[in-house]
């Protein structure tokens, strides 16, 4: 199963990505949690320590590796580089393992407009394509809304994309924009999940606004989650309610993917 998560900033993409990954890890599934957000913080939410997280170098910043694989130093202007660099050894070489979850921080895609021909972008896109198309582990991808890391081929290989919303009109409006973008790049099975839901009125608001879309679950607003994140701990370890909501969400995701019409 390959799942990507997106949504407005602050809605809980990282919290839910981490919880889904830990849930699957605990069940003994082989799972890669991939942080592709330039403002990376999945490591802490998974439960890695502050010291471990501080030592992580995202793949996008491994200058020597990028030069070795693409033939060009990052930032070199006008140089030809390999658009299809070798990446098959990178997941195992750079992953961190924590509580049954394999974790990889890939880093940001560079703006091509910055005069950069971006060999690092070629490496990152190829790495994601490799993880999604050629490896059989489950992938949980925590990313920005823009899908810059995904080629069309990678996008089409995901089983589902989850758009996270909170009970706010802003997050709904952003979610619909993301959905349109997802359709455009060929992501199929775009489902929604609610987060920071406090009561039935919140749940009804989300259901009403997303009427006609598939909602595969929701996570309640929880002081335990908030406290865990404040202390740099994995919410999954502190909130039993989160664990049960994420379990239900996973079952609903699997069912929705199975129910989806074949391409
Ligand atoms: N279910 C929740 N209950 C309470 N606080 C939450 C919950 N989900 C997320 N948060 C809070 O919201 C903040 C943003 O969550 P995060 O997962 O980092 O969002 P995103 O990755 O979408 O930017 C976190 O710092 C956390 O404190
Ligand atoms: Mg995040």
Q: Residues 28-49: pLDDT tens digits?
A: 999 999 999 988 899 999 999 9
Task: Compute the average pLDDT of residues 10-29.
Answer: 98
Q: Concatenate the DSSP letters of all residues of the chain into one string.
A: -EEEEEESTTSSHHHHHHHHHHHHHHTT--EEEEE--SS--HHHHHT--HHHHHH---GGG-HHHHHHHHSS-TT-SS----SS---TTHHHHH-EEETTEEEEE--PPP-GGGT---HHHHHHHHHHHHHHHT--SEEEEE--TT-TT--HHHHHH-SEEEEEE-SSHHHHHHHHHHHHHHHHHT---EEEEEEEE-SHHHHHHHHHHTTTS-EEEEEE--HHHHHHHHTT--HHHH-HHHHHHHHHHHHHHHHHHHHSPP-
pLDDT greater than 80 at residue 127 = yes
Residue of 40, 178, 226 to test ligand 1 pocket, by largest number of atoms within 8 Å of CB:
226
Q: Is the pTM of the predicted complex or chain greater than 0.85?
A: yes
Q: Is 241 in the pocket of ligand 1 (CB under 6 A)?
A: no
CA-CA distance, 203 to 221, in Å (whole number)?
11
| Residue 18 Cβ < 6 Å to ligand 1 | no
Q: How far is the CA of 63 from the centre of ligand 2 (A)?
A: 25
Mutating to test ligand 1, I would choose from 174, 218, 229 the residue with most ligand atoms within 8 A of its C-beta, which is 229
Q: Is the CB of 11 under 6 A from ligand 1?
A: yes
Tell me how far the alpha carbon of residue 38 lies from the centroid of ligand 2, in angstroms: 9
* CA of 14 relative to ligand 1 center, distance in Å: 7
Grade residue 116 by pLDDT with cuts at 50, 70 and 90.
low
Average pLDDT rounded to a whole number, residues 97-101: 97
| Ligand 1 proximity of 62 Cβ (cutoff 6 Å) | no
Q: How confident is the model at residue 247 (pLDDT cuts 50, 70, 90)?
A: very high
**pLDDT of amino acid 43:** 97
User: In the chain, what is the straight-line distance between the N-terminal and C-terminal CA atoms, in Å?
Assistant: 16
Query: 153 pLDDT exceeds 70?
Result: yes
Measured CA to CA in angstroms, residue 94 lies from 5, 73, 97, 194 at distances of 22, 20, 10, 32
Model confidence at 239: pLDDT above 70: yes
Q: Tell me if 25 CB under 6 Å of ligand 1.
A: no
Q: What is the mean pLDDT of the chain?
A: 93
């Amino acid at each position: 199963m390959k799942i990507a998560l997106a949504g407005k900033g602050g809605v809980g993409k990282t919290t839910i990505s981490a919880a889904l990954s830990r849930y699957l890890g605990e069940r003994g599934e082989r799972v890669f949690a991939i942080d592709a957000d330039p403002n990376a913080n999945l490591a802490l939410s998974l439960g890695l320590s502050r010291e471990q997280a501080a030592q992580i170098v995202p793949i996008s910043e491994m200058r020597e590796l990028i030069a070795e694989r693409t033939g060009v130093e990052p930032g070199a202007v006008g140089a030809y580089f390999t658009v299809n660099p070798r990446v098959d050894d990178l997941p195992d070489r750079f992953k961190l393992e924590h509580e049954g979850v394999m974790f990889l921080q890939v880093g940001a895609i560079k703006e091509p407009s910055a005069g950069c021909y971006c060999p690092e972008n070629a490496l990152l896109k190829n790495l994601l394509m490799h993880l999604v198309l050629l490896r059989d582990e489950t992938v949980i991808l925590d990313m920005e809304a823009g899908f810059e890391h995904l080629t069309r081929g990678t996008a089409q290989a995901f089983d589902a994309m989850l758009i996270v919303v909170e009970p706010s009109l802003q997050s709904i409006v952003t979610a619909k924009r993301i959905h349109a973008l997802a359709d455009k790049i060929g992501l199929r099975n775009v489902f929604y999940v609610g987060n920071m839901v406090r009561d039935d009125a919140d749940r009804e608001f989300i259901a009403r606004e997303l009427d006609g879309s598939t909602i595969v679950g929701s996570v309640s607003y929880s002081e335990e989650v908030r406290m865990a994140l404040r202390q740099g701990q994995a919410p999954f370890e502190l909130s039993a309610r989160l664990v049960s909501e994420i379990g239900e969400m996973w079952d609903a995701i699997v069912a929705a993917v199975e129910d989806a019409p074949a391409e």
